[in-house]
Amino acid sequence: MTYQYRILSQSEEIQSERSLAEFAAQVCCLQLRIDKPMVRFIDERADGFINFKSRVDGYCPPPGKEIFIRSGLSPAALVNTAVHECRHAWQWQTAAWRNKDESFCEGDAKTFTHEFWADHSRSGYHAELMGILGDIKVELVKSRFSHRQAEIQKFWIKPGQVNCWPPNVEFS
């Protein structure tokens, strides 16, 4: 038994799916520190040319520059799939992970997806999920910023030192 899929054209896409998947991928890749892969949608069709041995919600082929998500998922399943496939994109793009076996990578993607949502409980509505993703993005940016600020302050502003950049430059 094979399951056949085809890629949706842009005009066939559902706008709410596109916006949710894009935002999930954007926030997730900010965390993973990779460029966001292209997001494409697929559906199951007898004349589809992409074949799988079982039904899939998504997939990410090497080299991890594109992720594919099945259209028609619930908003909650859609964001989980986007996050899961972005982790596979990260695996393909990370040299140390490229040759790991499939079940190991699958387990890692599942764990990552679970941890991505941290303590954010979610009932699964589109607007709610967009809000939670926004919160996660703000937390990420804030923690990066405060980390960087601490790094700069370590050697930038010292008591009795001139407040300048680059540090320790002699001015004549």
- Does 24 sit near Zn ion (CB under 5 A)? no
- Asked if residues 54 and 3 have their Cβ atoms less than 8 Å apart, the reply is yes
- Asked if residues 37 and 92 have their Cβ atoms less than 8 Å apart, the reply is no
**Integer Cα distance of 78 and 129 in angstroms:** 10
The region of 19-27, 44-52, 100-108, 145-153 touching Zn ion under the rule CB under 5 A is 100-108
**Shortest distance, CB of residue 88 to Zn ion, whole angstroms?**
6
- Does 109 sit near Zn ion (CB under 5 A)? yes
**Shortest distance, CB of residue 141 to Zn ion, whole angstroms?**
27
**Shortest distance, CB of residue 136 to Zn ion, whole angstroms?**
21
CB hemisphere CA count around 111 (13 angstroms): 6
- Asked if residues 126 and 16 have their Cβ atoms less than 8 Å apart, the reply is yes
CA distances from 61 to 15, 69, 88 (A): 24, 12, 8
The CB-nearest residue to Zn ion is 109
**Integer Cα distance of 8 and 11 in angstroms:** 8
Of 76 and 130, which has the nearer Cβ to Zn ion? 76
**Shortest distance, CB of residue 20 to Zn ion, whole angstroms?**
19
The region of 37-45, 74-82, 103-111, 135-143 touching Zn ion under the rule CB under 5 A is 103-111
Interacting residues with Zn ion (CB under 5 A): 106, 109
